[in-house]
Structure 1
C-alpha cells in the first residue's frame, strides 16, 4: 500500500526557532555599516538545509555559504538604494503570494500545509509577515539585475550550458531519493460528544464577547484554539484581503475599527474577527478561532475505516485508485486516484514511522 506523505519538514525547518527563546544576537559582519546578525545567518542555514543533503555538507560549510549569501544580498541592496529603486506594496504582496504557493507545493494537500502551519503555531497572515521584508529585498535585487546586469548579458547557448555543467557538476548536490506515492486520507470526524463540546465553546466565547466585561484580547487568550495568535490576544498582524479565506473576506468588509464580527464559518472552524486598524488596503485583525476536536473514540473509528480500506485495496484485490476516488477525504488528490506524485524520502525525517514503512515497501 502506498501511504500519505509530504515534505512536512519544510516549514518546521523554516520556523524551528520561532517558538524557542531568542538568544542574545551578535553582529558577525557589516556591509556599509549595515550589520549582519548571527540570527540571520542561523535562519539562512535552516533554509540551506532544505535543499542541501546534510550528509554531504558540514555545518561549518553551511554557515560559510549562508554568510556569503547574506553579504552578497546586502551589497546588492546597497546598490539598489543608490539606484533609487523601489517596489510597491502590491508587488510585495504578489511576490509573497508566489512564495507561499511555492511552500504549499511542497505538501501533497492543502490540509497537510494547514496542519503544518498549525503545528508551528502560525497563521497564514503571520507566515507572510515573517517573509514580507525578504520579498521586498528580492524584488529590489531583481530590479537591480534587470536594470544594470541583464542588458549586458546575452542568453547562454545550449552548448555553453552543457560546458558549464560538465565543469561544475561535482558542486551540484545529488538528486535526492524520491518515491512515487499515492494515499487515501481518512480524517477523523467529530462525533456527537465532540460536537457538543465544540458548540459549548462557541456559546462561551459568544457570551464573553456580548458581556463586554473583558477585552477581546483577554477572551482570545482564554478561548481561542489558534495557539500562536491566542498568546498575542488573537492578533493576526497586518493582512490584505487576499490573505483571508473568501468567507471571512466577505464578512469583514464593512467592519469598523474596534468592531467584532458575528461568528464566521470557514474551513478552519468558527472565527470571531475584530478589526483593530485600517490603512488603505491593509487591515490589522485579531480573531478567536474555535473548531471541534475529535475524541479518542472518533480517532479510533477513523483508524478502523482506514484499516478496512487498506484490506480492500490489498488482499481484497480492489483497485487502490478507485478506492481512493470513492473514500478519500483528500479533495485535491482523490480525483487522481490518491496520487501524491514524486516525494523526496528525506521529507519524512521528522516522521520516522513513515520513513520506516517506506523502507519495507522498497
Structure 2
C-alpha cells in the first residue's frame, strides 16, 4: 500500500500488460489517429467516441486474462483499462511504440488513470456534500466529442472507425473526456471567482517586461515532465530523453505536449507564445539563448521536473533596428585592377540611375551583363557586415547606395524596409489574464498534489 506519488516507481515491468497490448487482434497505426487540443484540457486530446448513447464499460469485449492493475481508494483500475489507455496515448501522441517506449506509455497511462479516479472521486464527494451537479452529463460529453470530430474534418462514425481500427474501445475516450471536462469545470467554478490579480502584480510585470524589452524574445513550445507524477527526477529525466528522441524521429511536438506535458500550455499543444528572459526558469532561459529557430532542446532539469523546449522563432529586442535589403553586385577579386574596378563601378552606377529602388532593382540588374541581383532578407543592422552597416543606417527605405567595395566584389545595396524590432508591450488586460491563468494552474496542481498525498493506492 502506498501514496499516489509512488505509483510510477511501483509499476510492474509489464510482461502481462505489454502482452495484452501488443497481442491484440488489431494493429496499432499511430499515423491514422488525429490529435487535437480539446477545450477541456490535455486529457481530452484524442480521437472521438460516438455521439450516440454513452458507452458502457460492461458492453465492451474484455480480454480473458484481465486482472487488477491498481486500486485507487477502493476503486479498481484493470489491466484492460490500462492497456486501452496506453493505446489511446500511442494513437494521439504520434510516438511509434517500441520495447523502449512502451514502459513510458504504461507509466503515463497509469498516472493519468489514477489522477482521473482521484478527480472523479473528489467530485462525487463534493456533489454529495453540497448537493450540486458538477460531473459532465452524457449530453455534454457527446457534444464535446462531436466538436472534436468536426475539428478533425470527420464525422463521429469516422472517428469511431479510427478508434476501432487501433483496438481502442470508445468508452476509453468517453471516460477520459468526462473526467477532464468535469475537473476543469470544478476548478474554474471553485477558484475562478476567488482569485484576484492585484495592481501591484500587474505593475511589477509591466516593469519587468519594460526592463527586458531590449533583450531577445523567443517564440516557444514547451513540454514539462512533472517529477512528482513521474516518480522522481531520474524517471522524469529518462522520460524526457525518450520524448526528445521520438520528436527528433518525427513525433509531432503538439501531440506529445498534449499527452505528456504537465504545463498549463499542454491543452494548446505546448504553445507558450512569445516569452522574454525571466518569464521561464533560469535553466530554460539559458538553453533558449543557445538555440536557433527550429531547434529542439535537450532535456532541461529544473526544480520540480524537466523541460523540453522547441524554439519556433526569435526576435531582437525593441532597441534594435531591422532592415530589409536587396543588392546588385559585380564579382571582383580583392586583387582586381583599378581599371576593372572602375568598369564595374560604371556598370553599377548605370543600374543605380535606371532603378527606382527595391521594386525594380533585380529586373534592371538582369539587363546588365555581369551584374547579379538578389534579396538579402531581413537582418538587424548591428549584425551586418561593416561595409553594409553604414549604408543601412543612413539610407531611407527605397533608397539605393552608391557602389560599395568588399573583398568579393562591388555592390549596390537597396533598403526595402526599416523598423524597430520587438513586439508592443502587453496591455494591462493581457497581463492580468496571463497572471490569472498562472495562478489558476498553480492552484489546480496543488489541489491534485493534496489528493495524491491523501490517497491510498495499491498496485498489483
Q: Provide TM-score, normalisation by structure 1.
A: 0.34
Q: Provide TM-score, normalisation by structure 2.
A: 0.27
Which protein shows a greater Rg? 2
